[in-house]
Amino acid sequence: MQITLALWTHHYVVKVSIFFVTFALVMGMVGCGGQLDEGPYKLSIASTIGGSVITPGEGAFTYDKGTEVNLVSEAEENYRFLKWTGDVDTITNINAPTTTITINGRYDITAHFVWFDITIKQIAAGGDHTVGLKDDGTVVAVGDNDDGQCDVGSWMGIVQVAAGERHTVGLKSNGTVVAVGWNYHGQCNVDGWTGIIKVAAGPVETVGFKSDGSLVAVGRRAPSQTWTDITQVVTGYKHTVGLKSDGTVVAVGENSAGQCDVDGWTDITQVAAGPLHTVGLKSDGTVLAVGWNYADMCDEVNGWTDITQVAANIGGLLRGHTIGLRSDGTVVAAGDNSEEQCDVSDWTSIIQVAAGEEHTVGLKDDGTVVAVGNNEFGQCNVGG
């Protein structure tokens, strides 16, 4: 009987001890701002050199539980926002300079900024070469140079570049145009062009948009210079596509794969052309495509959403791929991936894309460039 009482007493003491330990832990959590504490909570905000947090500011702030707080950071000149660090579990996007944080506890966060000097501000992809326009108006190029398409080292005062399959075009700040590379079809005969505000290049064509709304064009399948209200021109292997100012699209040339079947397209903001297919970006961020559907490069884009730019391969008649840039800086791709030219799913912070014959190039928001795909001629050597 004494043994039973002793055992009961021992179990009772253990249970009471566990109760008090648990109670102490719970009270400690409440007192220390744990999950059982309903707030209010302190949000401490700081920043590194190179910028500041302008909303709600920097320092310590107090908010009720569940409050969604806007965070707005601003970089100084020659700096850019990198990311939010610290207690970032409830920050909507740690990589965005403007975002929100939901207050569910005590938080200490820091806005990080990094020094940068934007080097590349625009890219273009040719058949087997890649072109980059620097912010000082000079141009760099890598890849196949058998026809001199990469001989751009002496160019200065350039404000836009375009690349054909084997030639490169540059628009100068004074409205004139320069071109280098293969000129068998006269696609580089741009001497004398004046008043140009934008240039485009097809596989073997060059187009200039004049300030009065007219077009000038040279090359094998130069677009009709009688077209009016045209804001963009792209060319495929044997077809030419024009985007009109009212959002409709016109196309002429070979239609063996239905690549010119763009009648009825409306609300289009940008077009792209592969050798045998045509792509249209709608104002709502969805995408249309017609033509040869090799490896689903047309069908797959029907499900794309939130797209801000499209690109299609230049050259590569028997294959093709289509690229889409999303508003969040990520990239999607469809079509031939034999050279891994569609391996872009891990790209982030992209602001422009371009597609070569078998390679894909992306310009990042920090002025650096990434590329995937066939690198036989060094066309993907853009890391520097």
Find out whether 51 and 81 touch, Cβ atoms under 8 Å. Answer: yes
How do the domains of the chain map onto residue ranges?
A: 41-115, 120-373
137-155 pLDDT tens trace? 999 999 999 999 999 999 9
Diameter of the chain measured on Cα atoms: 115
Question: 149 φ, ψ to 5°?
Answer: -70, -15
Q: Which two tokens stand for residue 199?
A: 């240039």
Q: Is the peptide bond before 275 cis (omega within 30 degrees of 0)?
A: no
The per-residue pLDDT for 239 is 93
> Could you give the count of Cα atoms lying within 13 Å of 41 in the half-sphere of its Cβ?
25
Other C-beta atoms closer than 10 Å to the C-beta of 354 total 27
329, 330, 335, 337: CA torsion to nearest 10 = 120
How far is Cα 373 from Cα 356, in angstroms, rounded to an integer?
9
pLDDT for 27: 47
- Per-residue pLDDT of 24-81, as tens digits, reads 444 444 444 444 567 899 999 999 999 999 999 999 999 999 999 999 999 998 788 9
Distances (CA, A) of 328 to 74, 142, 279: 19, 28, 21
d(CA 111, CA 52): 7
pLDDT of residue 36: 53
Q: Among candidates 274, 358, 271, which has minimal Cα distance to 307?
A: 271
Handedness of CA 42, 43, 48, 51 (dihedral sign): negative
- CB atoms under 10 Å from CB of 119, counted, come to 16
- For residue 6, the surrounding DSSP H or E stretch is helix 2-31
- From CA 98, how far away is CA 329, in angstroms rounded? 15
Three-point CA angle 186, 192, 198, nearest 5°: 80
Cβ neighbours for 48, distance < 8 A, ≥ 6 positions apart: 110, 111, 112, 113
Res 117: pLDDT: 66
Highest CATH level, class, for 120-373: mainly beta
Q: Among 188, 245, 239, which Cα is nearest to 217's?
A: 188
- How far is it, in rounded angstroms, from Cα 37 to Cα 29? 7
Q: Does the pTM of the predicted model rise above 0.75? A: no
> Along the 384 residues of the chain, how does pLDDT read in single tens digits?
444 434 444 444 444 444 444 444 444 444 444 445 678 999 999 999 999 999 999 999 999 999 999 999 999 987 889 899 999 999 999 988 999 999 999 999 999 998 766 689 999 999 999 999 999 999 999 999 999 999 999 999 999 999 999 999 999 999 999 999 999 999 999 999 999 999 999 999 999 999 887 899 999 877 777 788 899 999 999 999 999 999 999 999 999 999 999 999 999 999 999 999 999 999 999 999 999 999 999 999 999 999 999 999 998 888 899 999 999 999 999 999 999 999 999 999 999 999 999 999 999 988 899 999 999 999 999 987
* Distance, CA of 326 to CA of 323 (rounded, Å): 10
Round to whole Å and give the CA distance between 288 and 280. Answer: 5
Q: Which two tokens stand for residue 79?
A: 């700096």
Phi, psi of 184 (to 5 degrees): -60, -35
Specify the DSSP element, H or E, that contains 270: strand 268-273
Give the number of other Cβ atoms within 10 Å of residue 283's Cβ. Answer: 11
